[in-house]
């Protein structure tokens, strides 16, 4: 798997990027290449490839289609499909893209190299690209590596990615960047006052835990909290088979904040980072928490469990309360929290909530820059009543399910009362159909938009 650029050598083929229908660009090619393009009907469709042979039958150059504005709007990273179609070799991109478009194009190329090959070898693209001039190649490579970490963590089945394995992965990440890790697990969760993490995770054979990573010694403070439900059966409110099938990905929030943390550390951003991952399996056993139970959270708020399948907000709540105790400058949670978010925006968009308009603006800009689309939903105060059941402070699963992503976000916000700015992402973490640079399977959502937005959000 290669998610890096190739060193520049003499043995490099020109790869000429052509906009759809740009006949002038084809006319500018050497005569034999223009004739070859015409003879083959090359039109510059997005991701289309045409190899132009020289006199001796070796590769003289390759043409790659960049489509038109409409095609690119319909297909993110569409050009990346060219990488897999190109013959083995090293290429240098010839283009007239803006810096932003060039960055997206080059990132797509790198991400097209991702394969999940832990359990079976996969064929990999043989074409390499020399880092295009004017790009921060190292930054793009760090972003691609962070995204690959996220995908690997999500794709790995729960048998090999339980709470214990997730802890190992976090320790490995920390070791690589001089970060520290603290873990509170099992019965110690009760002593340390994380009752809801314990309640959700206690039925599983692998112990629930709260994993706490810290890195950096100067600069503004940023705390990332990721939902680490390594498998979500739904608990006693068991999910039907079809809904349970994909629930290895219910640690997608954890995987995504860990990918982002890796990017932040690799790029040495001048900030102090804390990552909190409540890692549990929502399992079924005699000691499982039950519908109707009322849990007292770390923060002291009581929660009536009206559905054991709304477990993510419970484990996050205790982690958020801990994070809030030291009032970081900015707190961000990421979670595969609700089916309702998927109904609202589908698999592609990352809905987010922000307590400060400035953060939402920065994220929208970052999303465009990083080709990582986000969409703001509101912390809609008039719906607060929907999460108040009467016999406890909070209801984890309001009846009816109206505005299910919003009520979940409002629930989380009750545990963030002192931190000045809070952003929450309700992500999917999964790409259901293969697309260029984004194979079917685990995928990071929102991390690249955040990385791009952080300098503005934290005044770095
Ligand atoms: N992990 C699920 C949410 C989920 C489901 C995300 C499918 C992505 C795809 C979460 O724990 C859950 O089951 N939420 C319930 C909450 C409900 C019971 C209030 C949901 O969304 O149905
Ligand atoms: Zn659930
Ligand atoms: Zn869940």
pLDDT, tens digit, for every residue of 232-251?
999 999 999 999 999 999 99
Nearest CA to ligand 1 atom 19: 397
Nearest CA to ligand 1 atom 18: 310
pLDDT tens column, 139-185: 999 999 999 999 999 999 999 999 999 999 999 999 999 999 999 99
Q: What share of the chain is helix, strand, coil (3-state, %, to 5)?
A: 40, 20, 40
Which ligand has the shortest distance to the CA of 429? 1
Nearest CA to ligand 1 atom 9: 339
Nearest CA to ligand 1 atom 17: 310
Ligand 1 contacts (CB < 6 A) are 232, 250, 307, 309-312, 336-340, 342, 397, 404, 428
Atom of ligand 1 nearest to the CA of 407: 19
Nearest CA to ligand 1 atom 7: 339
Which pLDDT value is given to residue 142? Answer: 98
Q: How many CB atoms lie within 10 A of CB 434?
A: 9
| Ligand 2 center–CA 335 separation, angstroms | 11
Q: Please indicate whether residue 313 is annotated as part of the active site.
A: yes
Best residue among 158, 227, 247, 310 to mutate for probing ligand 1's pocket (most ligand atoms within 8 Å of CB) is 310
Nearest CA to ligand 1 atom 11: 310
pTM across the whole model: 0.98
| Ligand 1 center–CA 91 separation, angstroms | 45
Atom of ligand 1 nearest to the CA of 250: 1
| Model confidence at 9: pLDDT above 90 | no
Which ligand has the shortest distance to the CA of 346? 1
The model's confidence at residue 14, banded by pLDDT at 50, 70 and 90, is very high
Which ligand has the shortest distance to the CA of 338? 1
**Dist. CA 336–CA 288, nearest whole Å:** 21
Neighbours of ion ligand 2 (CB under 5 A): 232, 309, 311
| Ligand 2 center–CA 403 separation, angstroms | 16
Sign for the CA dihedral angle at 168, 169, 171, 172 comes to positive
| Ligand 3 center–CA 247 separation, angstroms | 7
Paired sense of beta strands 394-395 and 272-282, if any: unpaired
Q: Tokens 């109707």 sit at which residue?
A: 292
Q: How many CB atoms lie within 10 A of CB 237?
A: 18
Which pLDDT value is given to residue 10? Answer: 83
CA 137 to chain centre: 20
Which ligand has the shortest distance to the CA of 428? 1
Mean pLDDT of 123-136: 96
Q: Please indicate whether residue 214 is annotated as part of the active site.
A: no
Q: How many CB atoms lie within 10 A of CB 365?
A: 14
> What SS3 class is residue 270?
coil
Atom of ligand 1 nearest to the CA of 232: 1
Nearest CA to ligand 1 atom 16: 310
The model's confidence at residue 451, banded by pLDDT at 50, 70 and 90, is very high
**Dist. CA 171–CA 61, nearest whole Å:** 45
Mean pLDDT of 96-119: 97
| Model confidence at 289: pLDDT above 80 | yes
| Model confidence at 425: pLDDT above 80 | yes
**Dist. CA 191–CA 110, nearest whole Å:** 46
| Ligand 3 center–CA 350 separation, angstroms | 16
| Model confidence at 261: pLDDT above 80 | yes
What DSSP string describes 139-196?
Answer: HHHHHHHHHHHHHHHHHS-GGGSSHHHHHHHHHHHHHHHT-EEEEEETTHHHHTT-HH
Which ligand has the shortest distance to the CA of 401? 1
Atom of ligand 1 nearest to the CA of 307: 18
Which pLDDT value is given to residue 368? Answer: 97
**Dist. CA 252–CA 161, nearest whole Å:** 12
- Given the residues 76, 85, 239, 272, select the one marked as catalytic: 239
pLDDT tens column, 341-386: 999 999 999 999 999 999 999 999 999 999 999 999 999 999 999 9
| Model confidence at 2: pLDDT above 80 | no
Nearest CA to ligand 1 atom 13: 309
| Model confidence at 390: pLDDT above 90 | no
Mean pLDDT of 80-108: 97
Atom of ligand 1 nearest to the CA of 338: 21
Neighbours of ion ligand 3 (CB under 5 A): 229, 232, 250, 312
């Amino acid at each position: 798997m290669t998610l890096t650029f190739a060193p520049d050598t003499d043995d490099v083929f020109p790869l000429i990027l052509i906009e759809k229908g740009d006949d002038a660009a084809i006319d500018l090619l050497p005569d034999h290449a223009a004739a070859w393009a015409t003879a083959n009907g090359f039109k510059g469709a997005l991701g289309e490839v045409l190899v132009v042979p020289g006199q001796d039958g070796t590769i003289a150059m390759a043409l790659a289609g960049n489509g038109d504005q409409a095609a690119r709007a319909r297909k993110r990273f569409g050009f990346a499909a060219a990488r897999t179609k190109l013959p083995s070799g090293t290429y240098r991109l010839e283009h007239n893209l803006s810096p932003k478009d060039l960055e997206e194009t080059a990132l797509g190329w790198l991400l097209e190299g991702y394969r999940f090959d832990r359990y079976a070898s996969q064929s990999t693209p043989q074409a390499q690209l020399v880092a295009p001039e004017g790009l921060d190649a190292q930054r793009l490579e760090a972003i691609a590596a962070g995204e690959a970490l996220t995908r690997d963590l999500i794709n790995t089945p729960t048998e090999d990615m339980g709470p214990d394995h997730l802890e190992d992965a976090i320790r490995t990440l920390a070791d690589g960047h001089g970060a520290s890790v603290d873990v509170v697990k099992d019965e110690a969760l009760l002593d340390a006052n994380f009752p809801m993490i314990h309640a959700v995770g206690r039925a599983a054979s692998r112990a629930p835990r709260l994993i706490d990573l810290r890195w950096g010694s100067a600069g503004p403070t940023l705390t990332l909290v990721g939902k680490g439900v390594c498998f979500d059966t739904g608990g006693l409110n068991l999910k039907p088979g079809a809904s349970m099938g994909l629930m290895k990905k219910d640690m997608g929030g954890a995987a995504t904040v860990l990918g982002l943390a890796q990017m932040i550390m690799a790029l040495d951003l001048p900030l102090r980072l804390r990552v909190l991952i409540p890692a549990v399996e929502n399992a079924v056993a005699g000691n499982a928490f039950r519908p109707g139970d009322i849990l007292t959270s770390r923060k002291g708020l009581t929660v009536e469990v009206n559905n054991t399948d709304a477990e993510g907000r419970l484990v996050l709540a205790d982690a958020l309360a801990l994070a809030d105790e030291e009032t970081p400058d900015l707190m961000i949670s990421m979670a595969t929290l609700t089916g309702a978010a998927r109904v609202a925006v589908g698999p592609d968009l990352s809905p987010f909530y922000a307590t400060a308009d400035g953060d939402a603006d920065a994220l929208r800009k970052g999303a465009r820059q990083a080709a990582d689309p986000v969409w703001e939903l509101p912390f809609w105060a008039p719906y607060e009543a929907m999460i108040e059941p009467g016999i406890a402070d909070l209801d984890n699963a309001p009846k009816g399910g109206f505005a299910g992503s919003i009520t979940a976000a409002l629930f989380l916000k009750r545990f963030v009362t002192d931190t000045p700015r809070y952003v929450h992402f309700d992500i999917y973490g999964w790409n259901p159909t293969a697309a260029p640079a984004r194979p079917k399977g685990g995928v990071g959502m929102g991390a690249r938009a955040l990385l791009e937005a952080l300098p503005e959000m934290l005044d770095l």
